[in-house]
Amino acid sequence: PPGEFGGNIDNKELRVGSSLFLPIFVAGANFSAGDGHAVQGDGEIDVTALETCLKGSFQLILHKRPINDPPLDFPRAITNSHYISMGFDANLNVAAQQASRRMLDWLVSITGWSREEAYVFCSLACDLHITQMVNRNRGVHAMVRRELIP
């Protein structure tokens, strides 16, 4: 199931050219990619998707965190068009809160806005999507169009 480490994220926004940022919690952590879906709707409500093999290239880059930056504690992504923060929990409301709060934190760090300004912006411009309902943990991702960020 998906979690703070990544796992079975099932986010259909992660396509060619996307950058996925995963926290590393243990030294010598491994990376695995699988469970490719040729077609899947937001919210994956059943264990059935149009499964396919994955073919592609992955470039893994270790980003060392500057001392004053807060640690990355959950997956997030940058696509060609969006910033995406994620939340996963058995409770869908908690997953939505996680994704929303992580987007607020991210916006404050990249724009210099106050938290209140980020809240107002997110009410106007942040979209929440259900990533999945099928696994033990439900998934929600918050999306903000990159063109809207100064």
* Domains in the chain with CATH codes: 19-65+73-148 (3.10.28.20)
- Lookup: tokens for 103: 């987007």
Write down the pLDDT at residue 70. Answer: 75
Confidence of residue 57 (pLDDT cuts 50, 70, 90): confident
Rg, the chain, Cα only: 15
Mean pLDDT of 123-131: 96
Quote the pLDDT of residue 21.
95
Residues 6+ apart with CB under 8 A from 79: 13, 14, 15, 17, 18, 19
Q: What is the pLDDT of residue 71?
A: 82
Does the predicted TM-score (pTM) go above 0.75? yes
Confidence class of residue 140 from pLDDT cuts 50, 70 and 90?
very high
Q: What is the pLDDT of residues 104-120, one digit of tens each?
A: 999 999 999 999 999 99
Closest CA to 103 of 44, 146, 147: 146
